[in-house]
Amino acid sequence: MTENNYVNRGLPDIVRRFEGTRVLVIGDCMLDEYIYGECNRISPEAPIPVVLCNEKCDFLGGAANVSANIKAVGGEPLLVGVVGDDESGERLRKALGERKISDNGLVVSHSRPTTLKTRIVAQNQQIIRLDREVFDDLSDEDLSSVKERFDGVIDSVGAVVISDYGKGVINRAVLKHIRDVIGKEDIKTVVDPKVSHFEYYKGMTVITPNHREASDVCDINIVDEITMTRAGKTLIDRVGCENVLITWGERGMVLFRNGQEDMPVFIDATARSVYDVTGAGDTVVAVLSLALANGASIVDASRIANYAGGIVVGKLGTSTVLKSELIEIIEKGS
C-alpha cells in the first residue's frame, strides 16, 4: 500500500455518507453569466479585441454555487440569501430550480440588485469581466427576513457554511445571530471569509482563506513553508477560530489547528491541469462542511476538500464536482 493510499483509507466511505446530509448555506448569492465567442481581430476604434458572441450560459455563484456543489456530491443544501427584484434574480432562481435546489430561503429585496458577474470568453480565455453589484449592508427589513429564514431551518442541519463575499449579507450582526442561535449545539461552521471581516469569525469551526488573503490579513508575505506557518499561527491567534485551512494554489492546502499551531498539516495539491479557478473556494467549503457534518476529523475533511478543489479547477467555468468523481480520484490516491 502506497503512502497516499494509506492516508486516504476510509475517505471514500466518508464521501458516500454525504447522501442526504443537510447543510445550511448563508451568504452572498451571485449569478455568473458567461458569454462565449470567437476573437479574430482587433477593433479599429481602440486596441481591444472584438468578440463575436455565439453562446450565453448562466452559472450559480457565491453561496448559490456552494449550494450547487453540496447538491452535486449528494448533500441537501438549504440556501439563505438575498436576490434583487430583477431579471438576474429570476435567472438565479431558475438556475437553482434546474438543480433541484429550493429557493424558499431567498429574500427578494426591493432595495438592492442581484449581484451579476459577466465574463466574456473567447478561445477558452477570459477577455473581460463586468460586475454589477452593491456592497452596502442589508436594509433592516431584509436583515430581519434573512434571520427568520435562518432560524426556520437551523434545527435540521449538521453544518453551516458562511459564504462571505462582502456584498452585504454577512456582517457582524448576522454572525452574532448565527452564534447565538447555534449556541452550544454541535453544528460545524465553515467560513469562506472576506478579508475585511476576519475579526467577525471568532469561534467558528474553520475558516478557509486563500494564501493571498492570509498574507493581507497578517501582513506576512507567504513565499515558503516558514512564512506560511507564521501566517497560520497569526491567524489562529488573531481570529480565535478552531481551525484555519489556507488554500495555496498549486502547492495545495495547509491546515492549522488551535492548540496545535506548531504542527501544521501540509496537504499536496492534486490538480493535474488548471483551466479555471472560478468557484474553487465554493467547492472546498461545500465538501469540507459535508465531511465535518458526517463526523470526519478536520484533517480528513481537509484532505477530501483538497481532492474536490483539484477536480473543479480542471473544468472551465463555475463548476461542481460529482460524488462519483470525488470517490474515484480519492481511491486512485492522486
**Annotated catalytic residue within 28, 142, 164, 282:** 282
* 282 is known as an active-site residue: yes
3-state secondary structure string across the chain? CCHHHHHHCCHHHHHHCCCCCEEEEEECEEEEEEEEEEEEEECCCCCCEEEEEEEEEEEEEEHHHHHHHHHHCCCEEEEEEEEECCHHHHHHHHHHHHCCCCCCCEEEECCCCCEEEEEEEECCEEEEEEEECCCCCCCHHHHHHHHHHHHHHHHHCCEEEEECCCCCCCCHHHHHHHHHHHCCCCCEEEEECCHHHHHHCCCCCEECCEHHHHHHHHCCCCCCHHHHHHHHHHHHHHHCCCEEEEECHHHCEEEEECCCCCCCEEECCCCCCCCCCCCHHHHHHHHHHHHHHCCCCHHHHHHHHHHHHHHHCCCCCCCCCCHHHHHHHHHHCC
For the annotated catalytic residues, the residue numbers are 282
